[in-house]
Structure 1
């Protein structure tokens, strides 16, 4: 009953920080380090940190015990590419969300999406742009950190950055000011100014659009010049921020790699040479398989043959990247599809040929490494006590990660 009270307090922002010691006794532990489950392991938590992990632990007399029979315990998963201020495109188009939904409505919906994400077992989310909702993600991050609303730990990219004239919405009278889904910049000095202004406003991550469609019906083309891209990445790195680049064309990807980006998002048009260059520099790819899958289904695809060209291209690039040794980020572009269904990306990664253990590692320690998060992503002493549990063994059945039934964040049980 006291865990239910804790949840109620969490929902209204009054939950105290945990201070006691808790012993967790699941059936097995996947620690996010080894590609196996360890049967009989236990985990000892004091306050918000893990203090011991293993089969035989010395437990203080005053420790509380939580039994998780039949459950596999693992690190809280890390969503690598999400948009909490978007909701599925079959509910409202991207243009309608950006142009017609009030900011208060989008923020209220984002709080619900944040809660669904946490309860689904994703205790951290890298949110890559509010898509027209300004700096509202900074406020949501603060509300979660202050226990005003429940949600994952957030890394936010705020407005994201696009080359002037390259993004949207489009299709209005020329010269008419139209709200944009990202902040525009043009020229080296302006790009650096915008990077620094977003960091000053609270950005943890700088997101750049390395290519896009300049006009309706046109193919994507590289947008920022090499000089602009390099200057933006340099300014972000000088401030200790990582850089994510949305890019799917070979030229856009080449410029992002040369600039020293930390992750590339989508990468649908990547070539063998491009992916080898990414691997050589340790640049991770977020393939976002679930985004192309979801959009294709909204357009009528039911999963059979013929497979839509976008899905074929996405799967082929994913296979090329893996064969080249590119670090793989687990990120589905959630918001294109429903928040809380984040594990959809993991299922698609397995279906596309990635071994289950590698997918689980990507969603935990792999994403932590790619995003420079040294305090999470694995179950070991000293880490944040962000952990989840599910019935069965996800190493044998990836679908298990879609059935998370127990969540701990910072030593506090938020889903009992």
Structure 2
């Protein structure tokens, strides 16, 4: 009885401390706040963080006793940025060609490298990443997401697409004896029944977003051509939406884009051959566009491009499509296809967008509240009471000079300072 009494007393004494424990409070005092929606920064604003959420925003906040204060002189506080198109399981193609990464790099090595890339991405100010396919690494992104969420390894909040889905025979690697089974960079499907099965299988495995390829080149040297039929895209999109998942579509050709638009997808990636009419249709359906300008530029540099005043045809084409999308009023997603180029340099896509004619404030909105809206993330993307305290501070004013994004001075994820 005495032992039971001691145990009961110990439990009773522990309960009030747990019940009355107060979440950590932190007051952030920057020179200004860019809230993710208003183009103009707010000088003199402060942000009070309580636990993992933003508790208050504005000037001269009332601060509870015991609140930690972090002064950020000369710095702009803003929402953590959202990478809209990444591949954590890839690394730059000038280090190792894509085929060799898919065919020859061990899965364990790719996963460890992806974990390192995730940490680098977070410390670069990107607190959320939409990772659009493991490119031959199976469902390892689901495991990486769990490892990050459990605190096992640092990284951004992940939206994962697992294997992605391509038409039979339309992806790679290629160039082997016909009939030889070669590991592919995505899951192949053919026909309505099989593509729906692939969608549901990937969702069951942990996919947050379904990635489809509406076009691709069947053989090396051939142009991109539509792959999935309208019926296949319609069925895949409906199956994903029924399960509450968004749909991202790789589409370079105008016809591939038209089919994706008709299917009602959520975002279209690349869109190099998009026409004004195609972008007008996207705007009417509120489908967001991820132009991936930085990837096009990186690949051209790997092939020898050195003169920024004379871009190669591929770069010029992607910039023209981007301008046409802006002119049509298409919601713009900020996503650079990072992995083609170095993780941590995600903001190079933002600089490319500005160089192609988008105002810096609109670029910042695209990378924060714009991506949050496109991906249906209602708990982040802005500095607003009640949202997740995913926040960064940069030296200078990024609304005037995007190079400020290379001067990250603070990164906070869910109220915890990670840099």
Please give the range of the TM-score, normalised by the shorter of the 2 chains.
over 0.9
- Residues in 2 aligned to 1:156 and 1:304: alpha-carbon distance in whole angstroms: 34
Larger Rg: 2
**What displacement does 1:290 show?**
0.1
**Partner residue in 2 for 1:207:** 211
CA contact (8 A) 1:266 1:286 kept: yes
* CA distance, structure 1, for counterparts of residue 87 and residue 374 of structure 2: 18
Listed as ranges, the gaps of 5+ residues in structure 1 are: 1-16
SS at 2:418 equivalent: strand
2:266 corresponding residue in structure 1: 262
> How far apart are residue 18 of structure 1 and its match?
9.4
Deviations for 1:188-246, whole angstroms, at most 9, x for unmatched residues?
00000000000000000000000000112111000000000000000000000000000
The aligned counterpart of 1:68 is: 72
User: Does the 8 Å contact 1:18/1:412 carry over to 2?
Assistant: no
- Is residue 400 of structure 1 aligned with residue 410 of structure 2? no
Once residues 262 and 324 of structure 2 are traced to their aligned partners in structure 1, the CA distance between those partners, rounded to angstroms, is 20
Quote the Cα distance in structure 2 between the aligned partners of 1:414 and 1:323.
39
TM-score, with length taken from structure 1: 0.95
Equivalent residue runs for 1:297-312 within 5 Å: 297-312=301-316
**Candidates 48, 56, 75, aligned match of 1:52:** 56
- Residue 369, structure 1, aligned to residue 363, structure 2: no
Does 2:160 match 1:120? no
Give the C-alpha shift of residue 19 in structure 1: 2.4
Please report how far the alpha carbon of residue 305 of structure 1 lies from its aligned counterpart in structure 2 after TM superposition.
4.2
Alignment of 1:66-215 (within 5 A): 66-215=70-219
CA distance in 1, matches of 2:392, 2:308: 33
Q: Distance in 1 between matches of 2:218 and 2:407?
A: 42
Q: Counterpart in 2 of 1:314?
A: 318
Question: In structure 2, how many angstroms separate the alpha carbons of the residues matched to 1:126 and 1:304?
Answer: 29
Deviations along 1:106-141, one digit per CA (max 9) or x if unpaired, are 001001100000000000000000000000000000
Q: Which runs of 4+ in 1 moved over 2 A?
A: 303-306
CA contact (8 A) 1:163 1:185 kept: yes
Deviation, 1:100, is: 0.3
Matched-pair contact (CA < 8 Å) for 1:18–1:48: no
The alpha carbon displacement at 1:304 in A equals 3.0
Q: Is the 8 A contact 1:297 1:303 kept in 2?
A: no
Q: What is the TM-score with the length of structure 2 in the denominator?
A: 0.94
Structure 2: where are the runs of 5+ without partners?
1-20
